Amino acid sequence: MKKSIFYGGLILSLLLVICNPLGVAEDDLLAEDPYEEVIAAVNEYLNTSTLLQDKGDSEGAISALESALAHIKDETAPEFQELRMQIYDNIGYIYAILGENEKAFDAFAAATQTGTESPIPWLYLGALLEEAGMPEDALLMYQEAIVRDPDGVTRAQEAHDFLSGDTSTVNNAPQPWSIMYLGQLDGPSTGKKQQEHLNAFIEHNAGVKDACEIMYFYSSTCASCQRLAPWMAAFRERYPEVLFTSYNLQNGDSQARIETAKREYGISSGHIPVIFICGSILEGNDPIENFFEPMARSVYNLPIRSN
């Protein structure tokens, strides 16, 4: 009951945002690049947050993001709307992978009130509500995501259709976790939660190789990617049937492709190495080494093999 009251209050505030979205006053429009130093300082906080999160310091990562918000709290120029939304999204994402869904919901709700038209926070709100057992409210959030980007958010459209009872456009019934980062789950009882998510992926994606595109993004200048390279080479040797496209982000075309993938999967930021597979995301060396093989084997119906 407590959870329903919490979400209910926030949903009401979000309905007000839907009916009366924030606008930008003409007087707030400023000259080109007047805040270069401020934005550079915020980017430093964002980089620090990424480094801390990669080291498993979620509390420090959130603190760095909150410092970034504080740095621009009085800025009202349009340049800061998208930046503020991305920071709230990152905070919500970290809370979500920690299993602190109420704090995650609060952050994503704040992201919707930054004046941007991004569909991404609405997509995450829908996923959290769906996981909380509130499908009607989740449907409302997915609808808002689709309104803001009808062509770009594939997962929102599939989730919307699934919850509406229309499965004609859905290859595999979307799961609440499908837009979350399976491999990055952390916090209490994560082993059980990871296994539940992995089992659900295997159940819903067994033998769907013809309907599943697998993409691996890396960079030749990325230290983590270089450490992962021998593992990826060994995987290819064990499972030559598994087809996936590798994209080196030093290539301009690859940059465009990862941006498209991020839009399709409904994420605003991401790190490398990362694998997109059948609606799920594996980001970082450990998640890829722990989960990619069983997920790929399920998609291709392959047995376990050793080198």
Q: What is the CATH number of the domain that holds 256?
A: 3.40.30.10
261, 130: one domain: no
77, 193: one domain: no
Domain count for the chain, please give it: 2
Domain that holds residue 62: 2-175
Supply the pLDDT for residue 266: 67
Comparing 19-28, 42-51, 160-169, the range with the smallest average pLDDT is: 19-28
306 located within any domain:
no
Does the pLDDT of residue 11 top 50, yes or no? yes
What is the percent of the chain with per-residue pLDDT over 70, rounded to a whole number? Answer: 72
213, 104: one domain: no
Residues 98-133 as b or e (16 or more Cβ within 10 Å = b): bebbebbbbbbbbbbbbbbebbbbbbbbbbbbbebe
Does the pLDDT of residue 185 top 50, yes or no? no
Supply the pLDDT for residue 94: 84
What are the φ and ψ backbone dihedral angles of 166, each rounded to 5 degrees?
Answer: -100, 105
17 located within any domain:
yes
Does the pLDDT of residue 286 top 90, yes or no? no
Does the pLDDT of residue 5 top 50, yes or no? no
204, 110: one domain: no
147, 197: one domain: no
169, 186: one domain: no
7, 150: one domain: yes
What are the φ and ψ backbone dihedral angles of 181, each rounded to 5 degrees?
Answer: -100, 95
35, 114: one domain: yes
Supply the pLDDT for residue 231: 95
232 located within any domain:
yes
pLDDT-derived band at 110, boundaries 50, 70, 90: very high
Q: Which pLDDT tens digit goes with each residue over 67-103?
A: 999 988 888 888 788 889 889 988 988 888 777 889 9
pLDDT-derived band at 31, boundaries 50, 70, 90: very low
Among 175, 207, 242, the domain boundary falls at: 175
18, 119: one domain: yes
307 located within any domain:
no
186, 242: one domain: yes
Q: What is the CATH number of the domain that holds 83?
A: 1.25.40.10
Q: Cα–Cα distance between 7 and 10 in angstroms, integer?
A: 5
> Where on the phi/psi map is residue 189: left (φ > 0), alpha (ψ -120 to 50), or beta?
left
Among 128, 159, 175, the domain boundary falls at: 175
- Residue pair 19/113 in contact (Cβ under 8 Å)? The answer is no
Supply the pLDDT for residue 245: 94
305 located within any domain:
no
192 located within any domain:
yes
- Residue pair 47/87 in contact (Cβ under 8 Å)? The answer is no
Does the pLDDT of residue 65 top 90, yes or no? yes
Supply the pLDDT for residue 1: 45
Please tell me what DSSP assigns to residue 181. B
State the average pLDDT over residues 152-176: 57
Comparing 154-163, 212-221, 259-268, the range with the smallest average pLDDT is: 154-163
114 located within any domain:
yes
Sign of CA dihedral 58, 64, 66, 68: negative
Going by C-alpha positions, the residue among 99, 97, 292 that lies closest to residue 205 is 292
Among 130, 145, 175, the domain boundary falls at: 175
204, 77: one domain: no
286 located within any domain:
yes
- Residue pair 149/119 in contact (Cβ under 8 Å)? The answer is yes
Q: Is 246 exposed, middle or buried (0-12, 13-18, 19+ CB in 10 A)?
A: middle
Supply the pLDDT for residue 154: 64
Tally of CB atoms within 10 A around 199: 12
159, 287: one domain: no
Supply the pLDDT for residue 34: 64
State the average pLDDT over residues 25-34: 50
Going by C-alpha positions, the residue among 165, 169, 172, 148 that lies closest to residue 157 is 169
pLDDT-derived band at 167, boundaries 50, 70, 90: low
Supply the pLDDT for residue 106: 94
Q: Cα–Cα distance between 113 and 37 in angstroms, integer?
A: 25
